[in-house]
Amino acid sequence: MTLHVIRFCTGAIFMAVAVGLLAACSLRSSISSPSSVLPVVVEGQSHLSNGRFVPEWSAFATVVPPEQRPLGGTMPFEFVPDAPASTTGGIYGSEFYGSDIWGFRANNSHNGKAICAVKNVSGANGIAVDGKGNLIDPDGGTHTIIVFKGPKMCGSQIGSVSDPYGQPADAASANAATGMIVVANIFDNNRKAGSVVRCTLSGGCKAHLKNPDMYEVAGVALAKNGDCWASATNSHGTPTLTYFKSCSGSGKKASGYANAYYGGLDIDVHGNLVSLSYSDKKLYVYKGCNPACTLVGGPFAIRGEATFGHLNATSTKLVTGDYQYGEIDVYNYAPTKLKFAYRFNKGFSPSELVEGAAYDPRSSE
């Protein structure tokens, strides 16, 4: 997946040119600077990248040339078309090495440029939109969670809260301005195993949830009833899903979790847990997972390697941050079916590692 930790690799370097990915240091190589998880080269931060450290110089050099991948070209599908564009809704996209979160029209099948931007972010892995349309930036570069006002795109900053436990990689909230924000830390400070943290803008980050099956933590999801889940790998590199009833306690390892690797999480309008798996480029849809999971859809193939993605308000569209090809990919979604619709990359660079992607408004669960 594409979690990035700003750090240096200290293990032996190897190269894997698979679908255009050059990787340095194995998933569990030692690191020389504190922070988070996957592939990186910037000291101090981690970028979740396919569970592998990706050196900055690699720039995914062997990706399929643009001329062989018609931009904005659609594939046949039989789902609902995109909603008309508006300033109160759209798609957010971000790059791990970039300093902006870009806002695009909800229907960007013609590869239009961004209509707005949130400036001065750093080390963003999984961005998210809350139930009120506020944008959440788990800012890995500063170890803070920053909230920007919605529902209009690219609103002003409402507030921020420091994460004292580790490097934030993903977040979820019903109302980030006034309520609880659930945060996934790739790793905790001093290279310790990652965690889930409960925060509020007014009260800070206090509840610190750990589980022995969570080592590198990628995604987090929060249900309406207050339960939450974290996708991770354990210390052996095996993908795990941990269920926290009422988002508290030590959690329980979910059974029936079939992901080949960890990735971002979301919840669709039917209450299904939607789970990305970066290494096999697949999407899995589960029912339950409290703690027993039932696979109800997938695994569905996705276009390029992606760690994070989110559904739109009606759960008919899924958007992913495709770091393999340096673009945002849009799919038509149903729990038992997934179809690639189109992609766009205006303003993005593969070397900056396209990572975060989210709809505004988000899935209403």
For the segment 185-214, what is each residue's pLDDT rounded down to a tens digit? Answer: 999 999 999 999 999 999 999 999 999 999
Residue type, 42: V
Domain with residues 81-360, CATH architecture:
6 Propeller (2.120)
Q: What is the pLDDT of residue 350?
A: 87
> With contact defined as beta carbons under 8 Å apart, do 339 and 332 qualify?
yes
What is the pLDDT averaged over residues 22-45?
31
Q: What is the pLDDT of residue 3?
A: 67
> pLDDT-based confidence at 2, cuts 50/70/90?
low
Q: What is the pLDDT of residue 118?
A: 96
> pLDDT-based confidence at 45, cuts 50/70/90?
low
> pLDDT-based confidence at 88, cuts 50/70/90?
confident
**What pTM, to 2 d.p., does this model score?**
0.81
Cα 64–chain centre separation = 23
Residue 28 has which token pair? 């569990």
3-class SS at 350? helix
Q: What is the pLDDT of residue 85?
A: 41
Residue 77 has which token pair? 């599908």
Q: In the chain, what are the domain boundaries?
A: 81-360
Tell me which DSSP letter residue 124 carries. B
Q: CA–CA separation, 353 vs 271, rounded Å?
A: 31
